[in-house]
């Protein structure tokens, strides 16, 4: 266990690489947990997993302009570095990598569209064109580009991501495989509030009334799962009923509700015995996502 007083905050590429070289020379295994900060119990569960598995734990905190589409909440995304680093100290994290946007994208103005026009990007696989990728143009290009840069700078042996962003982990797994990187990608389960709502930094945008309605996403996933386990295979009907359930409880735009294969994210076939149910829906201006993996004989 590391000494909790030893957390280092690093803001430059050079300092990050220097720490990494030192750990390499000591033969230490390094885990990376990439985040955008404003940390909550969901992030902490990833950090705890990293702490169990690696000698050194790096948490990156970077609100990545490239993964926000125009009109999204880049400017208003909550930034709470001091509070985050305090919590990470108590969790025994070794290093917080918190670069400014000008460090990561030195040739652009750090506005999403400016970065997109000026920087070299890592193009994501075709998986990025469905689900969230269909609703958030360019989002996954921003994700693969920043994660690729972080992997290059931190050179982790393993990287931990949350199942909450199911499509994101699937894309990163494929990127690591396609680009022949020796990094173990680990998925940590979704952490939820007692009423089932998946924790998210964006939940704080919800009004009290919206916060009361928000757990309906998880309840709807659970009732779809029940129907599948009862033998229902009419996926169109399941999606239609789930859409109606969300709409009638006060959700606005439903970006998607889908039933796919958990390993490949291809659309489900009637013969499948495992599924991932995925949803993205809006309550007011807040976009919430969630998912659930279901097997014919139970949830996982």
Residues found near ligand AMP in the complex (CB under 6 A): 35-36, 42-43, 45-46, 161-162, 164-165, 188, 190-191, 198-201
State the residue for tokens 């699937």. Answer: 170
Cα distances from 99 to residues 105, 147, 268, in angstroms, run: 10, 14, 41
Residue closer to ligand AMP by CB (options 56, 139) is 139
Question: To 10 degrees, the CA torsion angle through 163, 168, 174, 175?
Answer: -130
Name 35's Cβ contacts closer than 8 Å, sequence gap at least 6.
43, 46, 59, 60, 61, 62
Do 197 and 203 meet the contact criterion of CB atoms below 8 Å apart?
yes
| CA-based nearest residue to 64, from 56, 53, 55, 73 | 73
Q: Give min distance, CB of 84 to ligand AMP, in A.
A: 10
Q: Give min distance, CB of 219 to ligand AMP, in A.
A: 16
Q: Give min distance, CB of 149 to ligand AMP, in A.
A: 15
What distance in Å separates the CA atoms of residue 49 and residue 162, rounded to the nearest whole number?
11
Do 66 and 119 meet the contact criterion of CB atoms below 8 Å apart?
yes
Q: Give min distance, CB of 113 to ligand AMP, in A.
A: 20
Residue closer to ligand AMP by CB (options 42, 148) is 42
Cβ neighbours around 263 below 10 Å, total:
10
Do 60 and 154 meet the contact criterion of CB atoms below 8 Å apart?
yes
Residue closer to ligand AMP by CB (options 36, 225) is 36
Q: Whose CB is nearest to ligand AMP?
A: 162
Residue closer to ligand AMP by CB (options 45, 220) is 45
Q: Using the 8-state DSSP alphabet, how is residue 192 labeled?
A: B
Do 108 and 61 meet the contact criterion of CB atoms below 8 Å apart?
no
Residue closer to ligand AMP by CB (options 116, 142) is 142
Which one of the listed residues 19, 43, 139, 152 is annotated catalytic? 43
- Indicate if 40 belongs to the active site: no
Q: Give min distance, CB of 40 to ligand AMP, in A.
A: 7
Active-site positions? 43
């Amino acid at each position: 266990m590391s000494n909790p007083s030893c957390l280092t905050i690093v803001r430059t590429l050079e300092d990050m690489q220097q720490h990494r070289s030192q750990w390499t020379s000591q033969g230490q295994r390094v885990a990376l947990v990439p985040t955008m900060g404003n940390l909550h119990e969901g992030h902490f569960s990833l950090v705890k997993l990293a702490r169990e598995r690696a000698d050194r734990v790096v948490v990156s905190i970077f609100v990545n302009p490239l993964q926000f589409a125009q009109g999204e909440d880049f400017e208003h995304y909550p930034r709470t570095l001091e509070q985050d680093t305090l919590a990470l100290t108590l969790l025994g994290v070794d290093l917080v990598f918190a670069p400014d946007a000008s460090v990561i994208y030195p040739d652009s103005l750090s506005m999403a569209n400016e970065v997109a026009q000026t920087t070299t990007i890592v193009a994501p696989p075709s998986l990025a064109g469905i689900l969230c990728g269909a609703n958030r143009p360019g989002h996954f290009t921003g994700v693969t580009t920043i994660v690729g840069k972080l992997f290059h700078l931190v050179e982790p042996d393993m990287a931990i991501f949350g199942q909450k962003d199911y499509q994101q982990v699937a894309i990163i797994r494929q990127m690591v495989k396609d680009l022949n990187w020796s990094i173990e990608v680990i998925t940590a389960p979704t952490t939820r509030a007692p009423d089932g709502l998946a924790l998210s930094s964006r939940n704080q945008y919800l009004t009290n009334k919206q916060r009361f309605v928000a757990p309906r996403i998880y309840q709807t996933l659970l009732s779809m799962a029940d129907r599948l386990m009862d033998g229902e295979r009419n996926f169109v009907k399941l999606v239609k009923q789930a859409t109606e359930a969300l709409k009638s409880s006060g959700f606005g735009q439903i970006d998607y509700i889908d039933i796919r294969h958990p390993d490949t994210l291809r659309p489900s076939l009637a013969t499948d015995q495992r599924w991932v149910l995925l949803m993205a829906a809006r309550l007011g201006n807040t976009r919430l996502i969630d998912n659930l993996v279901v097997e014919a004989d139970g949830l996982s």
